[in-house]
Amino acid sequence: MAEILSQKEIDALLSALSTGEISAEEMKQDKKEKKVRVYDFKRPNKFSKEQLRTLNMIHENFARLLTTYLSAHLRTLVQINVFYVEQMSYYEFISSVPNPSIIGITDFNPLKGSGILEINPNIAFAIIDRLLGGPGEFEGKIRGLTEIETTIIEKVIKDILRILKDAWDNLINLNLALVNIETNAQFIQLIAPNETVALITFNGKIGKTEGMLNLCIPHILLEPIINKLSARYWFSDVKKESSGENIQQIAYIMKKSLVPININLGRSTITIRELLEIQKGDVIQLDKKVNEAVDVYIGSRLKFRGHPGILKNKMAVEITDIVEEVENGYE
């Protein structure tokens, strides 16, 4: 494609011609000279820019879904963003992975081959700490995983792969499966060292802990669907996708979402002195009768009414009525 000059460059060129700084003959001579572009045959570019942009779009969607999942699952501030997408040799990727690290070898069935999901230990230990009741911070020395930590991180990686599958569903129906977890990248020989891979790097933040997540996908694995990695195919495929499948995906994600539920048993007015003098066994009279329905709030909205009780030695509420939206004051 011919180089397009800006208006500023055109004005400068005309000015140089008018002042005699450059002649038309010199311009013709420069045009005749062949432009040489450096090409390294040891590292051929197998992914086009358009294909890399498509991979970027797919995994931006994945980053949003993963942020939503981890925020609800860990109940803390989580932010996952695509940092960059590039192609490199498999050797370069393996050499850049720290040791030890959390490396999940992933099967991309029905595509033939495996990819790598590498999680920085800072992020992995922050997730483990949060799931075990901690603040979700990690400032200790990098080390290998214990058996309990390995079991926890295996479940987290499997959930991440399920979300990655959802992100790829518009392009291909993948059955992603975790094959194994390694800590030393030098022991993983999936493909030849000089093979080209697509590296999608994510910047992750969990609470105050930051780290990188890397997804390595070999070109040979994506070769059967490489023609589909174009923006034209991507957008046309999204339009053709049936609304029923979209609804199922949204319903599946919503079912996994956590929302706060509050039960309002009633209200009462007491003095501060009475509040300070409350003892075990005291009775506070509420403004609701025993057989009267209680209000059930989803978040801050009144959605149901029901009756409190006991189920399997645990406090519970039986939903008996759905509050109409008009009653809530909105349509």
DSSP helix/strand/coil, 36: coil
Asked if 328 contacts 301 with a C-beta cutoff of 8 angstroms, the reply is: yes
Q: Which residues, in sequence order, are CB contacts of 59 under 8 Å at separation 6+?
A: 82, 85, 167, 200, 202, 215
Q: What local confidence, expressed as pLDDT, does residue 164 receive?
A: 93
Instruction: Give the end of a domain, one of 219, 236, 255.
Output: 255
Same domain, 225 and 267: no
Q: Whole-angstrom Cα distance, residue 49 to residue 56?
A: 10
User: DSSP states of 150-204 as a string?
Assistant: HHHHHHHHHHHHHHHHHHHTTT---EEEEEEEES-GGG--SS-TTSEEEEEEEEE
Residue with tokens 């390694």: 182
Which stretches of the chain score pLDDT less than 50? 1-2, 237-242, 330-331
CATH number at residue 205: 3.40.1550.10
Range of the domain at 91: 49-255
Query: DSSP 3-state assignment of 131?
Result: helix
Positions of E strands within the chain: 78-89, 102-109, 114-119, 175-182, 196-206, 209-218, 261-264, 294-298, 301-311, 314-322
- Give residue 330's pLDDT: 45
**Residue 36 falls inside a structural domain:** no
- The neighbour count for residue 330, using CB atoms within 10 Å, is 7
Please check whether residues 208 and 303 belong to one and the same domain: no
Residue-level pLDDT at 177: 92
Q: What is the pLDDT of residue 105?
A: 92
67 and 205 part of one domain? yes
Residue 34 domain flag: no
Backbone angles phi, psi at 219, to 5 degrees: -65, -35
Give the per-residue pLDDT at 165. 92
Query: Element (H or E) spanning 50, and its range?
Result: helix 49-74
- Identify whether residues 247 and 266 lie together within a single domain: no
Kindly state whether residue 174 falls inside one of the protein's structural domains: yes
Domain shared by 265 and 231, yes or no:
no
pTM, to two decimals: 0.59
Closest CA to 229 of 66, 46, 82, 40: 46
In a domain, 37, yes or no: no
- CATH number of the domain at 293, please: 2.30.330.10
Written as one letter, the residue type at 323 is: V
The one-character DSSP state at 223 is: G
Q: Which of 268, 230, 105 is nearest to 178 (CA)?
A: 105
